[in-house]
Amino acid sequence: RRDQEKKVLCVQGKLNYFNARHNLLTRLFTVEYSTYFDLTLSGYQLFNLPLPLGGTSNHFRTAELREVGGWDPFNVTEDCDLGIRIYERGYKTRLVNSTTYEEANAHVWNWIRQRSRWVKGFIQTHLVHYRNPFLTVKRLGLYGAFGGFLAVGGSAMMMLTNLIFWTVLLIYAGLLIHGFTHGLGLYDQIVGPHLPGGAYEGIRLGGMSFRAWPLVYYGQGEDPFWAVFSQIFFAGSLIMLFANFIFIGIGVAACVKRKFYYLIPVSLLMPFYWLLISIAAWKGFIQIFTKPFYWEKTIHGLTTDPITEEELHETT
C-alpha cells in the first residue's frame, strides 16, 4: 500500500461553480462541470486511465513534479498535458472528495474565448503526445494510449464534429419532413437507390432539386459489400443519435448526485450547449494554424452570485 501511495504524484480536487444560478449559461456550465468532475473523471480513475488535470485545486509532490518536467510553457492547457505526462511516467492522479468553487463565465463571448483556449490546448496536447503513435503506445501502453485518446484527442474531435453532425442531421430531417408532406414514407426515402419518383422533385433551390438521400442500400441488384457497409453505417449513426440522450441522462445523474435539483430541467437543454462548445472548438482549431501559442484572456469577476449556505452544506 505504501508503494502505491508513493506512485500518487497529484491529488485533484473537484471543481464546481458558486454562481450557477446567475443565468442560463452558468447553469449549463455547472451541469457540464458536475458531470465532468463528479462522474467522468471518477470513471477515468476507476478504470485507471490518464486524468487530464482541472487546472485548479491540484496538489503535487514537488520533487516528482520536477522529475516529469513540470509545466509546459507553450501549451495553453498545461494542466491537461501534465496529467498525461504523469500517467506516462508511471505516476497516478487521485481525486479527493473536496470541492473548490469557481466563478462560471456568464457572458457568451467571454465563455467562447475561454473554451476555445481549452480546446486548442487539448489539440496541442494530443499532437504532442500522439505525433508518434508507436512511441505513444510504448510510453502509455496500448490501454493507456487508448484512454488518453478518449480523454483528450477524441474529446476535442467530438467537439469539432458535433456542429457538423447536428447541421447535417437538421438538414436531413427537414428533407425527410418535406418528403412526408408530399406523400413519401420513411422507407421510401431512406432505402435506395430505387426511390419512387412520381411527381415529387424535392425542394427546388436555384434551379436544383434536393431530397433526402438514401442511407441504406438493400435489395436485389445491390453490391453485397456496400449494402452491408451502408447498413452498419446507418446503425452506427442511430447509435450516435441516441447516445446524445444517454449523455443528457448522465447530466441529470450528475445534478442528482450534487443535489442540484434545480438544474435538472436545464440539463435537458445540453445539446444546445454542446453546439456552443463546438463553435468555440472550431475557433480554437483555427487558432492552431494561426495563433497556436496565443493565450485567450478570460475576464473574471463579472458576477457576484454566491452559492447558498444550504447548497454548500449539501455538496461538501
Q: For the whole model, what pTM was predicted?
A: 0.88
Instruction: Indicate the number of domains in the chain.
Output: 1
User: pLDDT at residue 298 above 70?
Assistant: yes
Lowest-pLDDT choice from 253-262, 269-278, 292-301: 292-301
Could you give the percent of the chain with pLDDT greater than 90? 67
User: From residue 299, how far is each of 105, 231, 306 by CA, in Å?
Assistant: 8, 49, 18
For the chain, what is the radius of gyration of the CA atoms?
23
For residues 283-310, one letter each, b for 16 or more C-beta atoms within 10 angstroms of the residue's C-beta and e for the rest, the string is bbbebeeeeeeeebeeeeeebebebeee
Nearest 5°: CA angle at 143, between 140 and 145?
A: 45
- The model's pLDDT over 120-165, given as tens digits with 9 standing for 90+, comes to 999 999 999 999 999 999 999 999 999 999 999 999 999 999 999 8
Q: What is the mean pLDDT of the chain?
A: 89
**What is the extent of the structural domain holding 162?**
2-315
293 confidence band (pLDDT: 50, 70, 90): very high
